[in-house]
Structure formats: structure tokens, C-alpha cells
């Protein structure tokens, strides 16, 4: 499958099978997140694994209803101590690369999971402070998103709005 086909076929899974993800596939997915490009190679991305059936998963349910019973959720965050900053940017003051770096890593893991036959859902429906508090994360760790992973079940299908895409002219402008 080409990357274009992979991007075209991937959709947010909301119906996960209870089947666990094989360790070898999970290691590969996490490795792709580790290899993802980051600003100045600062590598601030951090991944916290939350397995279904654990105390951590029960805590997860308290901070978001959007877990969709995925057998594994990766909390993707960044470490403020490791981010790249741009002091030359006078428009976007206090810019740091953490959210972008973590997002690139999460997107890379999402596509690697799809390549491995594992479906994903991108979740941002949570309050960051609640996540930090319930998982006792240090103050320098900033939650960005959660990536639910698992195999699809028999109800699996793309949400109809997945196929509703704006034309490319809405995205591309020459300046």
C-alpha cells in the first residue's frame, strides 16, 4: 500500500475489538514515534501507555468519555524542559515546539499502526489539568492528545463525515 492509499483509507475507529496489540507491533509503533522529526532534534515528545483493564484505564475514563474501549491508549505529551523555542518570533511570542513535535510523533504512530492493521482514534476531548492531576504527571509534562489503538470489531466502519472533504482550493493559496 502506498502512503497516499494509507492516508486515504485511514479513519477514526470507534468500534474496537478486545484483541490485544502484539508486543512487536507496539514496539514498532512506538519506535516510529521516537524517530519522528522534532524542532532542532529536541525530542520533547513523551508517551504514556494506558492498557485496558488497568487502574490507569479506570482513571482515563474519569478524564474523557472518548476512549471507545480501545485496548490501548497512548497519552502523547511533551516535556517543557526539552522544547525548542524561537526568540526571533515577534508575532508568536513564547512559541515552543512541544505541541507540534508531539503531534508529528502521534501522527507518525497513527499511520504506522494503520500499516500494521491496527486502527486508531485521535482524542483531544479532555481537560489537560485533569489529566496531569489524575496521572500525577510532573508540571513540566504537557498533555497534547490521546491515541486509542486496537483492532476493529465487526461494527467497524468510517463515520460518514470522514468522506466529506473540502476541495483542495480551500487549503492551497499562492501568495
Question: Which set of grid coordinates corresponds to residue 160?
Answer: 460518514
* 143/76 Cα distance (integer angstroms): 6
Confidence of residue 16 (pLDDT cuts 50, 70, 90): very high
Number of H helices, E strands in the chain: 5, 4
Q: What is the pLDDT of residue 34?
A: 98
The answer to whether residue 88 scores a pLDDT higher than 90 is: no
The answer to whether residue 90 scores a pLDDT higher than 90 is: no
Instruction: Name the CA dihedral angle for 108, 167, 10, 65, rounded to a multiple of 10 degrees.
Output: 90
Q: Check the CA dihedral 122-79-112-8 and report its sign.
A: positive
Confidence of residue 72 (pLDDT cuts 50, 70, 90): very high
Q: Where are the domains of the chain?
A: 17-153
Report yes or no: 44 and 78 within 8 Å, Cβ to Cβ: yes
Give me the CATH topology for the region 17-153: NADH Oxidase (3.40.109)
Average pLDDT over residues 84-109: 93
* 70/120 Cα distance (integer angstroms): 8
Whole-prediction pTM value? 0.94
State pLDDT tens for residues 124-162.
999 999 999 999 999 999 999 999 999 999 999 998 888
Amino acid at each position: 500500500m502506498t502512503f497516499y492509499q494509507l492516508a486515504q483509507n485511514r479513519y477514526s475507529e470507534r468500534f474496537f475489538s478486545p484483541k490485544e496489540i502484539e508486543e512487536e507491533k507496539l514496539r514498532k509503533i512506538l519506535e516510529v514515534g521516537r524517530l519522528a522529526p522534532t524542532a532542532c532534534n529536541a525530542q520533547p515528545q513523551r508517551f504514556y501507555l494506558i492498557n485496558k483493564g488497568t487502574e490507569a484505564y479506570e482513571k482515563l475514563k474519569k478524564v474523557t468519555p472518548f476512549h471507545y474501549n480501545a485496548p490501548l491508549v497512548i497519552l502523547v505529551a511533551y516535556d517543557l524542559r526539552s522544547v525548542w523555542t524561537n526568540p526571533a518570533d515577534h508575532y508568536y511570542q513564547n512559541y515552543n515546539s512541544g505541541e507540534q513535535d508531539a503531534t508529528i510523533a502521534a501522527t507518525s504512530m497513527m499511520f504506522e499502526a494503520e500499516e500494521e492493521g491496527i486502527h486508531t482514534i485521535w482524542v483531544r476531548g479532555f481537560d489537560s489539568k485533569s489529566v496531569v492531576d489524575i496521572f500525577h504527571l510532573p508540571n513540566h509534562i504537557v498533555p497534547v492528545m490521546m491515541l486509542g489503538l486496537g483492532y476493529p470489531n465487526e461494527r467497524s466502519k468510517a463515520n460518514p463525515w470522514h468522506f466529506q472533504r473540502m476541495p483542495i482550493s480551500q487549503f492551497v493559496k499562492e501568495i
